[in-house]
Amino acid sequence: MEIEIVPINESELKSKEVLKQPDSLGFGNYFTNRMFVVKWNEGKGWHDAKIKKYEDFQMDPATLVLHYGQEIFEGLKAFRSKNGEILLFRPKENIKRMNRSAERMSMPQMDEKDMLDAIIKLVELEKDWVPKEKGASLYIRPTMIATEIGLGVRPSSEYLFYLILSPSGPYFKEGFKPISLLATDKYVRAVPGGVGEAKTGGNYAASLKAKKLAKDYGCKEVLWLDAYNKKFIEEVGAMNIAFVINDVVTTPRLDGSILHGITRKSVLQLSKKLGLKVSEREISIHEIFEGAQNGIVTECFGLGTAASIAPVKEIKYLHYTDKGEQLKSVKFGDEPGEIAKLLYGELQAIQYGEKEPPFEDWIVKI
Ligand code: PLP
Ligand code: COI
């Protein structure tokens, strides 16, 4: 794919002052000077690829994405190593998942090499925005939206794919400090055959009411249960989930409604490499409550690109019965567990270039 680089005026460049205070970056609050854009339509396929100034879009109020939510996105990170190299973590996995999301949402796929090339070129131009401090990184957000104008429900005949970059700190302001989660049978995230495996905006819009409920109960995020039985653990708002059960790193099996997380996949591979046992299977909320009380379930942690590894200190379970609302809680301790610490340390060391990647293609150097 030919990419036109549109020059931007020196006088319009944003200040990088924010990078001097990495602790106050937060997640997704600042954006770099440039973005990548490319259009698609039925006749031409992908065309007009550009890297240009980061700026507003103009949209007709009847643009399809604004009405029916035909939108997908990804999230990956560029890290700066101690010697200044810029490292992308498993970008090819995100590209593949973007194409799978596109397929599910009736949107066009993009050549994997072209997408990687666009990511590399944009990050290369914006490399000064990659924070230096451990814990901070340049978050890359590939996005695709339906841009045809009209109100009929149909796959759009036109799309815009874009990449934006956000120097970010940890997703949770707590950093690597344990958070609490709320499991409930009141709301569900996804059903088999639905769009839970796709990274599409509607999944997140639909989760907000449950997230508010979690907040009301003093929890950070929702721990989703399966839609049929309302008992098997699926994942968290923006992360997959794992438990240490009988010393085995155990995570819900990908059942058709869980996002295929890249951090989850990496941590399973890494755990095996470190000699830990791993298991992917059904895990019921009841097993966790009983197991934690009996000392069999010793740790719980979330897994995601934005959040990295997020230890969990407590799960509350809000359950609705004929007799009304019941609330139970189980605790894992106020400090991160040993296995969460080990995996977090290993993952960070690889991402920040302190350790050789244990598998081919984990790190793409820019
Ligand atoms: N599950 C959901 C719902 C997510 O939004 C994310 C974040 O991307 C994840 C899981 C973790 O996926 P990954 O590790 O690929 O970021
Ligand atoms: C990520 O981890 O990259 C995500 O996409 C989470 C996001 C919804 C904040």
Q: Could you report the per-residue pLDDT of 128-172, keeping only the tens digit for each? A: 999 999 999 999 999 999 999 999 999 999 999 999 999 999 888
For residues 27 and 73, membership in a common domain is answered with yes
For residue 283, the domain's CATH number is 3.20.10.10
Q: SS3 for 288-346, per residue? A: HHHHHHCCCEEEEEEEECCCEEEEEEEEEEEEEECCEEEEEEEECCCCCCHHHHHHHHH
Residue 170, SS3? coil
Q: Could you report the per-residue pLDDT of 309-339, keeping only the tens digit for each? A: 999 999 999 999 888 999 999 999 899 999 9
For residues 212 and 159, membership in a common domain is answered with no
For residues 189 and 324, membership in a common domain is answered with yes
User: Which of 168, 203, 220 is at the close of a domain?
Assistant: 168
- Work out which ligand 1 atom sits closest to the CA atom of 94: 15
pLDDT given at position 272: 97
Q: 307 alpha carbon to ligand 2 midpoint, in Å? A: 8
Question: DSSP characters for 198-265?
Answer: S--HHHHHTTHHHHHHHHHTT-SEEEEE-TTTS-BEEEETTBEEEEEETTEEEEE---SSS---HHHH
For residues 145 and 183, membership in a common domain is answered with no
For residues 145 and 294, membership in a common domain is answered with no
Percent of the chain with pLDDT strictly greater than 90: 94
Expressed as residue numbers, the domain containing 241 is 179-351
Number of domains in the chain: 2
pTM of the predicted structure, to 2 decimals: 0.96
For residues 123 and 216, membership in a common domain is answered with no
For residues 84 and 221, membership in a common domain is answered with no
Q: 74 alpha carbon to ligand 1 midpoint, in Å? A: 9
Q: Is 14 a member of any domain?
A: yes
Structure tokens at 239: 């992360």
Q: What is d(CA 289, CA 279) in angstroms, rounded to the nearest whole number?
A: 18
Comparing CA positions, the residue from 301, 298, 295 lying closest to residue 263 is 301
- Determine which residue's CA is closest to atom 5 belonging to ligand 2: 75
Q: What is d(CA 40, CA 351) in angstroms, rounded to the nearest whole number?
A: 33
What integer best gives the mean pLDDT of the chain? 96
pLDDT given at position 22: 85
Sequence-separated (6 or more) residues with CB below 8 Å from residue 145: 65, 70, 71, 159, 160
For residue 75, the domain's CATH number is 3.30.470.10
- Cβ(85)–Cβ(353) below 8 Å: yes
Specify the higher pLDDT residue, 255 or 197. 197
Residue 104, SS3? helix
For residues 229 and 326, membership in a common domain is answered with yes
Q: Compute and round to an integer the Cα radius of gyration of the chain.
A: 21
- For residues 202-219, one letter each, b for 16 or more C-beta atoms within 10 angstroms of the residue's C-beta and e for the rest, the string is ebeeebeebbebbeeeeb
User: Which of 116, 138, 168 is at the close of a domain?
Assistant: 168
Ligand 2-lining residues (CB < 6 angstroms): 75, 204, 238, 304-306
User: Which of 141, 168, 195 is at the close of a domain?
Assistant: 168
Ligand number nearest CA of 306 is 2
Terminal C-alpha separation, the chain: 18
Query: CA of 343: how far to CAs of 28, 177, 346, 348, in Å?
Result: 25, 14, 5, 8
For residues 123 and 61, membership in a common domain is answered with yes
